[in-house]
A and B are shown apart, each in its own frame.
Chain A
Amino acid sequence: MRIVVLVKPVPDPASAGERLGPDGRLDRAAAPAVVNGNDEYVLEAALKLIEAAGEGEITLLSMAPTNAPETLRKALAMGATRAVHVTDPALAGSDHVSTAKVLAEALGTLEFDMVFAGIDSSDGVGGVVPAGVAAHLGLPYLSYAAKIEPDMAGRTVRVRRISATGYDVLEAPLPVVIGGTQALGEPRYPSLKGIMAARNKEIVTKSLGDLGLDAAGLGGAVATTAVLDSRQPPARAATEVVRGTPAEGAARIVDFLAERRLI
């Protein structure tokens, strides 16, 4: 079983490290990077599958700035086998279109049965890269997987997607791209042995040239989105909490709206 897990280093949400630089781009140096939350969940799912099968390999794939290996080691410490790190100065400021293209090209150099990806990242919150990757590769895309059940002998995989009334079951032939969220379950802490072993695991670095890609059609220069402005949300004014019976509540709400001439 060979699983590639797409991994993105992001500013640690817990340390409120998301800061925009003067160019409207995320200042990635402002806070130490961690593995994107959703990527940890899908990595955990991959690790559980390998453990249950008693065999298999997990390759991490990341398109990220040069300091990514420090963050990738954390994911390697959880138990992944190796990492591929695509990095190139031309890729700074890439939008999701560039990112999907580059990741798809990198996947073309790897052998895999499944690609796991977090549905979105906590900094970009685009939610489209996994679909874009699948489209480029012409692979089925099973999104919002809450449970992943591969059948290696039959060369298919089933995922459960939670719906309003229960869950749907989707099935596709391998290879596939699967997008997952926290519904997949809590990721493990890297054990100390895992942390020590991660120091010796392979991280292969690839530039655009290594992938045979032309920098001209990629990166910040051709980004299809631009940050125009950013503002702090306005400070919350004092709120009034209405308690009591529904009748009392309704009366108070009507008064509130009437005072403001809204009704």
Chain B
Amino acid sequence: MPPVTDSPLPTYRLTEEQVLLRDAVRTLADERVAPRAAEIDKTGEFPEDLRQLLAAQDILALPFPEESGGLGGDLLTVCLAVEQLSRACATTGLILAVQELASLPLLIAGTNEQKDRFIPKLASGEQLIAFALTEAEAGSDVAAIRTTATRDGDDYVINGSKRFISHGSVADLITVFAATDADAETPRRDRLSCFIVEVPTPGFAVTRIEHKMGMRGSPTAELAFDGVRVPAANRIGDEGAGFGLAMKTFDRSRPGIAAQAVGIAQGALEVATAYAHDRKQFGKRIGDLQMVGAMLADMDAATEAARQLLYKACVEIEAGAPDASRWSAMCKLVAGDAAMRVTTDAVQVLGGYGYIDEFPVERMMRDAKLTQLYEGTQQIQRLVIARALLGKDT
């Protein structure tokens, strides 16, 4: 069944509230986040000071409902904030993006009791939450997850390990996906369940922190679960509903990564434009040389196209569009590729200066690459879109 192309929401406008929030985050990003970006990348240290700043300014409250201490921001509003933060520092934008991603299973399928228990401290930023789905042998192939959660009385006992978990070493809560059904007859996709594990807890350990190409201030951890007990009251959704919950989560979280990518691209574009404006060669500013001007034009167009697709996708997903997965995959695909292209060209515009760490574009290029890899590789995004176009093979 072809997707609906005649959307009932053909256009959107940012509300006054969204403009106010976006501008407030932009000011904060320019004045308090940007000056720290280079140092964060150099030291690879998690910016605890900026996490506190985001908490104090209620930015971490954006994704959560008002009745639990959040700001009740819709998907577009959260993405506006991620974009502005990422313009200054991708690591800092990721703090908000991961807080949203890892909370989504709770927000989508949690009981009122679970929401009352966990959301207030997440909204206040007092606690961070991480999303533990990926394993060494289960990246794109989510259903191949091998971590198990075995029922024992009122608890489940979790055994296994997770890899490449953003914020895994700084989070207080871990949203873990594990197999609760060991029956060989059960289809792979129906074996998984979702739990919130409160850490530290006996049997839980951070066994490794990766040294990454970019987003170096964001700790990416390997987590070991050795007989970790979690109360059944911490299971989110029904047994066996984990895979579907993860997919529903991605429908709302992929735009967050798209927002990060758009922000990174915009930051790189601004640096390249300023440089092309000031740098003179052959008696004129290099921006006036056609090959450089053409690059900047393509960078601007690519960034704006990615941005508009993102905003539109957010509005569609929030409105409950039946093809939310298609919108989510498209905006992440386009934005990730745009960010990689724009940052690479930004380094090119700056020439030799683009290659040294005196200028931020080499960092932005390293940061951009991850947006093509995580939260579903670009190849997975294409699978999702193709499936939406073609429908199931009957």
Residues of A within 8 A of B (CB): 189-196, 199
Interchain CA distance A194-B57 in the complex, whole Å:
9
- Beta-carbon contacts under 8 Å, B25-64 to A: 25, 27-28, 31-32, 56-59, 61-62
B57 in contact with A192 (CB, 8 Å): yes
B17 in contact with A192 (CB, 8 Å): no
A193 in contact with B61 (CB, 8 Å): yes
Give me 5 other A-B pairs in contact (C-beta within 8 A), A191-B57, A192-B21, A196-B17 excluded.
A189-B24, A189-B27, A189-B57, A192-B24, A196-B21
B27 in contact with A192 (CB, 8 Å): no
Report chain A residues within 8 Å CB of B20: 195-196, 199
Q: Could you tell me the dominant secondary structure of chain B's interface residues?
A: helix
Chain A residue at minimal CB-CB distance from B27: A189
Interchain CA distance A199-B61 in the complex, whole Å:
18
Residues of B within 8 A of A (CB): 17, 20-21, 24-25, 27-28, 31-32, 56-59, 61-62, 71
Given A195-B20, A195-B21, A196-B17, answer yes or no on A189-B71 (Cβ-Cβ < 8 Å): no
Report chain A residues within 8 Å CB of B27: 189
Chain A residue at minimal CB-CB distance from B81: A192
B61 in contact with A195 (CB, 8 Å): no
Q: List 20 A-B contacts (CB under 8 A).
A: A189-B27, A189-B31, A189-B57, A192-B21, A192-B24, A192-B25, A192-B57, A192-B58, A192-B59, A192-B61, A193-B58, A193-B71, A194-B58, A195-B21, A195-B24, A196-B17, A196-B20, A196-B71, A199-B17, A199-B20
Q: How far in angstroms is the closest Cβ of chain A from B366?
A: 29
Interchain CA distance A196-B21 in the complex, whole Å:
8
Report chain A residues within 8 Å CB of B28: 189
Chain A residue at minimal CB-CB distance from B20: A195
Report chain A residues within 8 Å CB of B57: 189, 191-192
Q: How far in angstroms is the closest Cβ of chain B from A103?
A: 28
A192 in contact with B56 (CB, 8 Å): no
Report chain B residues within 8 Å CB of A189: 24, 27-28, 31-32, 57
Interchain CA distance A196-B31 in the complex, whole Å:
21
Interchain CA distance A263-B27 in the complex, whole Å:
53
Q: How far in angstroms is the closest Cβ of chain A from B95?
A: 15
Report chain A residues within 8 Å CB of B61: 192-193
Report chain A residues within 8 Å CB of B62: 192
Interchain CA distance A128-B58 in the complex, whole Å:
38
Q: How far in angstroms is the closest Cβ of chain A from B370?
A: 27
Interface-centre pick from A190, A192, A199 (highest chain B CB count, 10 A):
A192
Q: How far in angstroms is the closest Cβ of chain A from B246?
A: 29
Q: How far in angstroms is the closest Cβ of chain A from B20?
A: 5
Chain A residue at minimal CB-CB distance from B55: A191
Interchain CA distance A232-B31 in the complex, whole Å:
29
Chain A residue at minimal CB-CB distance from B56: A191
Interchain CA distance A190-B58 in the complex, whole Å:
10
Report chain B residues within 8 Å CB of A192: 21, 24-25, 57-59, 61-62, 71
Report chain B residues within 8 Å CB of A193: 58, 61, 71
Interchain CA distance A191-B58 in the complex, whole Å:
6
Interchain CA distance A195-B73 in the complex, whole Å:
13
Q: How far in angstroms is the closest Cβ of chain B from A113?
A: 29
Which 5 pairs between the two chains have the least Cβ-Cβ distance?
A192-B58, A191-B58, A193-B58, A191-B57, A195-B20
Interchain CA distance A192-B26 in the complex, whole Å:
12
Interchain CA distance A45-B32 in the complex, whole Å:
21
Q: How far in angstroms is the closest Cβ of chain B from A37?
A: 14
Interchain CA distance A191-B25 in the complex, whole Å:
9
Report chain A residues within 8 Å CB of B17: 196, 199
Report chain B residues within 8 Å CB of A195: 20-21, 24
Interchain CA distance A189-B27 in the complex, whole Å:
9
B71 in contact with A190 (CB, 8 Å): no
Interchain CA distance A194-B58 in the complex, whole Å:
9
Interchain CA distance A124-B195 in the complex, whole Å:
61
Q: How far in angstroms is the closest Cβ of chain B from A171?
A: 34
Interchain CA distance A189-B23 in the complex, whole Å:
12
Interchain CA distance A192-B60 in the complex, whole Å:
10
Q: How far in angstroms is the closest Cβ of chain B from A166?
A: 32
Q: How far in angstroms is the closest Cβ of chain B from A72?
A: 14
Interchain CA distance A43-B62 in the complex, whole Å:
26
Interchain CA distance A193-B20 in the complex, whole Å:
11
Chain B residue at minimal CB-CB distance from A192: B58
Interchain CA distance A189-B31 in the complex, whole Å:
10
Interchain CA distance A192-B70 in the complex, whole Å:
10
Chain A residue at minimal CB-CB distance from B71: A192
Report chain B residues within 8 Å CB of A191: 56-58
Interchain CA distance A189-B32 in the complex, whole Å:
10
Q: How far in angstroms is the closest Cβ of chain B from A78?
A: 11
Report chain B residues within 8 Å CB of A194: 58
Interchain CA distance A192-B125 in the complex, whole Å:
13
Interface-centre pick from B17, B24, B71 (highest chain A CB count, 10 A):
B24
Q: How far in angstroms is the closest Cβ of chain A from B83?
A: 15
Interchain CA distance A199-B24 in the complex, whole Å:
14
Q: How far in angstroms is the closest Cβ of chain A from B22?
A: 10
Report chain B residues within 8 Å CB of A190: 24
Interchain CA distance A193-B58 in the complex, whole Å:
6
Q: How far in angstroms is the closest Cβ of chain B from A222?
A: 39
Interchain CA distance A189-B28 in the complex, whole Å:
8
